[in-house]
Amino acid sequence: MTDPRGLRLLLARHGATAWNEAGRYQGRADEGLSERGHAQALQLGRWLSEETPEIVLHSGARRTAETLARALPQHQATSDPRWHEIDHGEWEGLTYRQVLDQNPEQARAHWADPLHIPAPQGETLLAVAERVQAATNDLIAHYAGRCVLLVAHATSLQVLCCHVFQTPLELYWQWKFDLGSLSCLELYQSGTIINWLNRGYTRPASC
Q: What is the pLDDT of residues 37-55, one digit of tens each?
A: 999 999 999 999 999 899 9
Q: Please, are residues 157 and 13 in contact by the beta-carbon 8 Å criterion? A: yes
Cα four-point dihedral sign 136, 198, 53, 149: positive
17 has binding-site annotation:
yes
Instruction: Tell me the fold of 7-22+32-88+124-199.
Output: Rossmann fold (3.40.50)
Distance CA 49, CA 46 (A): 5
> What is the three-class DSSP state of 63?
helix
Q: At 130, which amino acid appears?
A: E
Distance CA 25, CA 22 (A): 9
103 has binding-site annotation:
no
6 has binding-site annotation:
no
19 has binding-site annotation:
yes
Please give the mean pLDDT across all residues of the chain. Answer: 94
DSSP string, 77-140: -EE-GGGPPPP-GGGTT-BHHHHHHH-HHHHHHHHH-TTT-PSTT---HHHHHHHHHHHHHHHH
Determine the Cα angle at 82 with ends 203 and 3, to 5°.
Answer: 90
196 has binding-site annotation:
no
Residue 157 to residues 13, 44, 107: CA-CA distances in angstroms?
8, 16, 23
The answer, yes or no, to whether residue 4 has pLDDT greater than 70, is no
Distance CA 155, CA 172 (A): 8
Which tens digit of pLDDT belongs to each residue from 45-91?
999 999 989 999 999 999 999 999 999 998 999 999 999 999 999 99
Domain boundaries, the chain: 7-22+32-88+124-199
Nearest to 207 by CA among 1, 3, 27, 2: 27
